[in-house]
């Protein structure tokens, strides 16, 4: 097997809230207070091959954005390693580390809050390549023009500020900023969630065009399954910090294995289903502060049995290129 472009092993992120002085005193006196620990991402193994579009789906609080941020280098992992083209990113130094970091860029959900409102578009897009020596001061103007053209914006608008653009155009600026440092890997975190339906199609097409033109690899994080189904080659489903299933897109949508994937796919309203009777999943999404033991999904799972309550199911290969974390697969075998 070829080395994946970006891979993680046992990637974990814990957010801890330590007790303050009053809390510690109360604990000393026997009160039932403890440090609060959220396992936002819990020992995740993920691998994305070059040229692939990996879809990462899940509901709020499942840790999908946290993974994106760790991969982009915005947030350090608590445990585990991130491998860039087979090499541990933490072990890289100097120019190599810089190149590896620049090669992974992120596009955010809300272009309004991820673009500096006080900078002109030319500075938003042109600042990073200048700092990193990808262009010179003299050529920066042309460089910005080219980058803006590549995302379908007229270079004539580069003197404007972000608030002078519509939502779709702002998202194009966000994409241009990511592309300006010539990345190989783009992490799109809910990049089209805030856009209207007709504008959304334009931006999804832009992502597809850029991938073909610039030979990019994507991690496409979204809660919208219909978009992921359209754009992704493989899909990874997460629930409360863990991967529950990962499979080629067509196989996952045709035949989901994990009970959570099944209910997630069933819950998506589709235009093909008229006047349907909704059969919802029971129960709430548990708090990540206090997740259920064993398989996180067992309180909501229609097939749960004793083992699910005590033992965390491991991700096992169920077919070539498909993994799922469910005890039911052992039962059937």
Partner 1 sequence: MTVPTLDIVDLKTHFFTRDGVAKAVDGVSLHVMPGEILGIVGESGSGKTVTGFSIMGLVDPPGRIVSGSIKFKGEELVGAPPERWRQIRGHRIAMVFQDPMMTLNPVLKVGTQITEAILAHEKVDGGEARRRARESLVAVGIPSPDERLEAYPHQLSGGMRQRVAIAIALVNKPDLIIADEPTTALDVTIQGQILAEVQALAKRTGTALVWITHDLGVVAGLSDRIAVMYGGRVVEQGPTDDVLERPYHQYTVGLLGSLPTRNKRGERLVQIPGMAPSLLKLPVGCAFQARCPRADIACAVEPPVVRPTPSREHRCAHPHVPVMRAAE
- Show Cβ contacts of residue 215 under 8 Å, excluding neighbours closer than 6 positions: 51, 184
**Applying CB under 8 A, does 290 fall inside the site for partner 1?**
no
**19 three-class SS:** coil
User: For residue 77, what are the contacts with CB-CB under 8 A and spacing of at least 6?
Assistant: 11, 12, 13, 41, 70
State yes or no: residue 223 binds partner 1 (CB under 8 A): yes
Task: Among 24, 270, 303, 309, indicate the residue that binds partner 1 (CB under 8 A).
Answer: 270
Nearer to partner 1, 13 or 170 (CB): 170
* Residue 278 binds partner 1, judged by CB under 8 A: yes
Given a contact cutoff of 8 angstroms between Cβ atoms, the answer to whether 63 and 237 are in contact is no
Interface residue with partner 1 among 249, 257, 261, 324 (CB under 8 A) is: 249
Give the distance between the most distant pair of CA atoms in the chain: 68
How many beta carbons lie within 10 A of that of residue 171, not counting itself?
30
Backbone angles phi, psi at 213, to 5 degrees: -75, -40
Closest CA to 42 of 235, 256, 296: 296
Stretch of 74-82, 88-96, 145-153, 199-207 contacting partner 1, by CB under 8 A:
199-207
268 binds partner 1 (CB under 8 A): yes
> Exposed (0-12), middle (13-18) or buried (19+): which is 94, by Cβ within 10 Å?
exposed
151 or 180: CB nearest partner 1: 151
Q: Which stretch binds partner 1 (CB under 8 A): 63-71, 120-128, 150-158, 276-284?
A: 276-284
Q: Per CB under 8 A, does 71 bind partner 1? A: no
Q: How far is the CB of 59 from partner 1 (least distance, A)?
A: 4
Q: Does 316 bind partner 1 (CB under 8 A)?
A: no
Chain residues that interact with partner 1, rule: CB under 8 A: 59-60, 166, 168, 196-202, 204-205, 208, 223, 225-227, 229-231, 249-250, 263-264, 266-281, 284-285
């Amino acid at each position: 097997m070829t080395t994946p472009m970006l891979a993680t092993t046992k990637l974990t992120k814990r957010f801890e809230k330590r007790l303050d002085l009053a809390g510690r005193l109360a604990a000393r006196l026997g009160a039932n207070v403890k440090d609060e620990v959220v396992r936002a991402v819990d020992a995740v193994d993920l691998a994305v091959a070059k040229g692939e579009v990996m879809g990462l789906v899940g509901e709020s609080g499942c840790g999908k954005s946290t993974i994106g941020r760790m991969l982009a280098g915005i947030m350090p992992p608590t445990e585990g390693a991130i491998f860039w083209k087979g090499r541990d990113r933490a072990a890289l130094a100097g120019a190599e580390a810089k190149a590896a970091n620049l090669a992974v860029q992120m596009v955010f959900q809300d272009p309004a809050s991820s673009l500096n409102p006080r900078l002109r578009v030319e500075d938003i897009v042109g600042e990073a390549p200048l700092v990193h020596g990808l262009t010179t001061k003299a050529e920066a103007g042309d460089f910005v023009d080219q980058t803006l053209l590549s995302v379908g914006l007229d270079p004539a608008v580069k003197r404007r500020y972000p608030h002078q653009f519509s939502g779709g155009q702002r998202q194009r600026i966000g994409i241009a900023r990511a592309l300006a440092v010539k990345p190989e890997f783009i992490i799109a975190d809910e990049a089209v969630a805030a856009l209207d339906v007709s504008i959304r199609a334009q931006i999804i097409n832009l992502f597809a065009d850029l991938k073909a033109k610039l030979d990019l690899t994507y991690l496409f994080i979204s809660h919208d399954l219909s978009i992921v189904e359209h754009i992704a080659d493989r899909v990874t489903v997460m629930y409360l910090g863990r991967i529950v299933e990962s499979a080629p897109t067509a196989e996952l949508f045709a035949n989901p294995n994990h009970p959570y994937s099944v209910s997630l796919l069933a819950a998506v309203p589709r235009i093909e289903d008229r006047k349907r009777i909704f059969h919802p999943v029971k129960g709430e999404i548990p708090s990540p502060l206090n997740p259920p033991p064993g398989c996180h999904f067992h309180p909501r799972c229609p097939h749960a049995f004793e083992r699910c309550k005590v033992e965390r199911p491991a991700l096992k290969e169920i077919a070539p290129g498909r993994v799922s974390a469910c005890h039911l697969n052992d039962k059937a075998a």
